[in-house]
Amino acid sequence: MGASEMDANNGARAYADRNRPAPGTQAYKDLFNQVTSTPFPNGAKFIDHTSLYHGEGQYNFSDIIKFADVIAGASVRSYTLNSEGTLFADADGPIHINEYGAYVSASKKLISDKLKIGASLRYDKNENFDGKFTPRISAVFEVAKQQYIRASYQNAYNNPDNRSQWEMLNLGSSIELGGLTYVHDKNPYQLHQYPIYTSSSYSKFQQSGSEGDLVEQQFGKFVPPSINSYEIGYRGVVANRLLIDAYGYIAKNKDVIASYGVVRIKPGVPDSSFSIWFSSPNANTTYGYGISLTYSLTQDWSVSFNTSKDMGKNPSDSNKTVNLSIPGYRFNVGLNNYGFGYQKRFAMNVNWRWQDAMHSTASFRSGMLPATNVVDAQVSYKLIKANSRIKLGGTNILNHYTVDQFGNPAIGGLYYVAFAYGL
């Protein structure tokens, strides 16, 4: 006789659990230790012997160039990825990546120092991608005493992170691969040698059985994402007590790194699902505004408040997962003191931060992340003769665990004691 849906589900659950150790038993602990100590993909352990070396320098040309303020700098960075094949395509040995960059910036005051203009140019190169120049220009104008307006334009880009470049992770139901052609062609997957189809067209084919519904999907490009942004703002002091700072911006994002769901059909083996990192062909736009207020209650006490709202237009495509996670509103409220107690040696600040809930998308999950609500605080004591300070404080002192992206760890409170000399 047929069972009810609930009885059938309960029976299936009981059958699936028949050999599962109960939590808390020694068998459960032994199995847990075995799984967590066995490297991926046979267990849950990731091996990480990755290293990073970074160096940078900057020079101010004020002693040489007098007509403008000129600064130049350079940086170099070297990665060695070594997960022993548990996360990256490095089962055959560590992966070495080098990148470098250089920049120059200049600024000059005009119109009796009421107008300050600035410009900068930067060049960056990662060995896996073409190098690129990125410019920035800005202007600040004093329209009245202690009243300023500003405007800026900048073009910027960043190289895809190492995971989206080199990932090779078999999750069982799906295989995540980085966007580099080297990773696609590496054994055992060799994607370019076999037909690849979008996940949606493959599902449609399975439902209808029609060859005409199975349309091959060409691989998209994989290049560094770039952004063109414009900002205008105001900053001013009212009645020598209230500091106001407000801004608005709009930014056009191009080649945003995303994951693409595809299915590979290889003769003699089951069809395999992949999630591949690539550069989305659709641009998206982000825009927003914010305002900050700081009011001096006395010479030593002030209160502060700021809020901002960010919005975005995300391209829609059932095959793509674009990582554009933007909270709506953010609020900060603070109380600050710059000197109290004996000889005004003590100082303190406390700040409440709230961030709106937001939709978050990762390659393996999408959904809403809850709003966050945390408090930061710090108290310091000045050692006058030693020209130094001792600081005691923490961020998220109430230890409310928060997550900023699916798959990232939950972060709780961070507490510190610091000694600062000459401050």
Confidence label for 171 from pLDDT (cuts 50, 70 and 90) = confident
Query: pLDDT above 70 covers what percent of the chain?
Result: 93
pLDDT at 319: 47
Residue count (the chain): 423
Range scoring the smallest mean pLDDT among 28-37, 331-340, 378-387, 410-419: 28-37
If you average pLDDT over residues 64-85, what whole number do you get? 94
Q: Where are the domains of the chain?
A: 1-37, 48-322, 325-423
**Is-contact 352 387, C-beta < 8 A?**
no
What residues contact 14, with CB distance under 8 A and at least 6 apart? none
CA 44, CA 34: separation in Å to the nearest integer?
9
Range scoring the smallest mean pLDDT among 80-94, 286-300, 403-417: 403-417
Q: Is the peptide bond before 41 cis (omega within 30 degrees of 0)?
A: yes
**Is-contact 308 288, C-beta < 8 A?**
yes
* Nearest by Cα to 401 from 410, 392, 393, 414: 410
Domain 48-322: top CATH class: mainly beta
What pLDDT, in 10s, does the model give residues 350-359? Answer: 999 999 888 7
Average pLDDT for the chain: 87
Residue type, 163: R
pLDDT at 246: 98
**Is-contact 262 198, C-beta < 8 A?**
yes
pLDDT at 318: 47
**Is-contact 91 128, C-beta < 8 A?**
no
Range scoring the smallest mean pLDDT among 167-171, 221-225, 414-418: 167-171
pLDDT at 213: 64
If you average pLDDT over residues 183-192, what whole number do you get? 83
What pLDDT, in 10s, does the model give residues 271-323? Answer: 888 888 888 877 888 899 999 999 999 989 999 999 999 887 765 544 455 55
Q: What is the pTM of this model?
A: 0.76
Beta strands in 181-322 (DSSP E): 196-198, 226-238, 242-254, 257-264, 272-279, 284-296, 301-313, 320-322
If you average pLDDT over residues 185-196, what whole number do you get? 81
| Exposed e or buried b per residue across 149-162, where buried means at least 16 C-beta atoms within 10 angstroms of its C-beta | ebebebbbbebbeb
DSSP element (H, E) containing 101: strand 95-110
pLDDT at 260: 81
Each as own residue / partner, the long-range contacts of residues 80-85 (CB below 8 Å, 24 or more positions apart, any chain) are: 80/50, 80/51, 80/52, 81/50, 81/162, 81/166, 82/47, 82/48, 82/49, 82/50, 82/51, 83/46, 83/47, 83/48, 83/49, 83/50, 84/39, 84/47, 84/49, 85/168
Sign of CA dihedral 81, 87, 92, 97: negative
If you average pLDDT over residues 410-416, what whole number do you get? 92
What pLDDT, in 10s, does the model give residues 26-43? Answer: 888 888 888 888 777 777
If you average pLDDT over residues 88-98, what whole number do you get? 92
Residue carrying structure tokens 């990232």 = 408
* Nearest by Cα to 264 from 204, 325, 202: 202
pLDDT at 263: 86
If you average pLDDT over residues 362-371, what whole number do you get? 77
pLDDT at 224: 93
C-alpha dihedral (202, 204, 210, 215), degrees to nearest 10: -50
Confidence label for 216 from pLDDT (cuts 50, 70 and 90) = low
Structure tokens, 354: 């709230």
Q: Please determine, for residue 390, whether its predicted confidence score (pLDDT) is greater than 90.
A: yes
If you average pLDDT over residues 249-257, what whole number do you get? 91
